[in-house]
Amino acid sequence: MVTAPENTYTMTNEQKIQVKEALMRYVSNFDTQAHAAATLQGVSAAAISYIKNDNWQMVSGNTWLNIARQVGFYSGQWSHADTSTSLLLRILLGDAQRYAMAYGVAIATGLGKTFTARHYAREHDNVIYLRCHEEHNRRTFITALLQAARLCPSDSIPDMVNSFTAAVSYVPEMVIVLDDTHLLKDRVLQLVITLANSLTGVAGMVLMGNAEWRSRITGGVKENKAGYERIYNSFGRRFVTINSLSPRDAELVCRANNITDENSIAHIVASAGNNLHHVTELIKKHYPVAMAA
């Protein structure tokens, strides 16, 4: 086994300010800080309060990095790798944006869908990215979507839907990317499909979820569950499905982030399994690099 140096990466105060801003945007999507904390792995409501109130000395370095990874902060120090999932997903996102296409995408956990989607949104104009949560109801979902589009929410859900579709309709080559769509309740999914149908031929929409996302929709169609046929039809009765890494994906991530020693790469690849999250955790643990999205 290769022994690597301990991680010496420390987040700067400027980065902490940016993480706080990203965290506050994230929290604003929920009714309470406790609800927001419940959707973040390994993050307590107390930690959120400490950061919100600038009691930063109460928050460990690992907690800062953990929060940063989950709320979308990007330090610019983690390099993108052209993995098989990344290449395919970027093609789909580009097609959806250019040709106002709708796609359902089911990707196994740990293959890099969130990192790739966020990277695409940072690198391209006219992209609205929103990570979905099981806590979302119709109001909090459409409010979060409006905020992602830099639009002001209002009291009425129909008014917010109309405001969103009207604003998007004026922007050429717009794409809406919904991540972790599998977490949404059926009633919220119905609202998503209302939006998709309103924007048919006007804006692209990519509904991404985990490996169970496809089976949830197709199973709902077979069982004649209300609205599922409409959902399936919205993206042409087809899913793009990605279940595993290609043989070189983990190696590509290592090399893109300055891990070039062959023994170190072999150790990381062997330890990571079918999961790029494990690759990034191993690199962050043993090498002085910044966190990944």
Phi-psi region of 103 (alpha: psi -120 to 50; beta: other; left: phi over 0): beta
Q: Note whether residue 253 is domain-resident.
A: no
pLDDT digits (tens, 9 = 90+) for 49-105: 999 999 998 998 888 888 887 776 544 456 677 888 888 999 999 999 999 999 999
Does residue 134 lie in a domain region? yes
Residues with Cβ within 8 Å of 38's Cβ and at least 6 positions away in sequence, in order, are: 135
In a domain, 254, yes or no: no
Among candidate residues 47, 73, 99, the one where a domain is terminated: 73
22-59 tens-digit pLDDT:
888 888 777 788 888 887 878 888 999 999 999 998 99
Contacts of 185 (CB under 8 A, 6+ apart): 134, 136, 137
Q: Is residue 255 part of a domain?
A: no
Q: Which residue has the higher pLDDT, 155 or 172?
A: 172
- pLDDT per residue over 253-282, tens digit each? 888 877 888 888 888 888 888 788 788 778
My answer on whether 92 and 217 are in the same domain is: yes
Q: Give residue 42's domain range.
A: 1-73
pTM (2 d.p.)? 0.72
Contact 253, 245 (CB under 8 A): no
Identify whether residues 19 and 135 lie together within a single domain: no
pLDDT at 51: 92
Together in a domain, 135 and 235 = yes
Given 27, 53, 73, the domain boundary residue is: 73
Q: Are residues 65 and 100 in the same domain?
A: no
Residue at 274 is within a domain: no
Specify whether 122 is located in the same domain as 181: yes
For residue 31, is it within any domain? yes
Residue 286 lies in a domain: no
185 with 91, same domain: the answer is yes
Q: Is 128 helix (H, G, I), strand (E, B) or coil?
A: strand
Q: Read off the tokens for 34.
A: 């406790």
3-state SS record for 175-195: EEEEECHHHCCHHHHHHHHHH
Contact assessment for residue 65 and residue 11, using Cβ atoms and an 8 Å cutoff: yes
Q: In what order do the strands lie in the sheet with 204-209?
A: 127-131, 175-179, 204-209, 102-107, 239-242
Is 50 exceeded by the pLDDT of residue 4?
A: no
Is 261 within the bounds of a domain? Answer: no
* Residue 94 sits in the same domain as residue 24: no
1 with 128, same domain: the answer is no
Q: What pLDDT shows up at residue 15?
A: 78
pLDDT number for residue 287: 59
Residues 227 and 102 in one domain: yes
129 beta partners? 177
Residues 80, 28 contacting (CB under 8 angstroms) = no
Is the same domain home to 112 and 225?
Answer: yes
Last residue of a domain, one of 26, 48, 73: 73
Percentages (nearest 5) of helix, strand, coil residues in the chain: 55, 10, 35
Scan for tokens 């940063």, then name that residue. 68
Residue environment code for 191-222, b if the CB has 16+ CB neighbours within 10 A, otherwise e: bbbbbbebbeeebbbbbbbbeebbebbbebbe
What is the C-alpha to C-alpha distance for residues 266 and 6, in angstroms, rounded to an integer? Answer: 18
Q: Does one domain contain both 8 and 151?
A: no
Sign of the CA dihedral 191, 27, 39, 74? positive
39, 121: one domain: no
- The CATH number of the domain holding residue 91 is 3.40.50.300
Domain count for the chain:
2
Quickly tell me which residue has 């999205």 as its tokens.
293
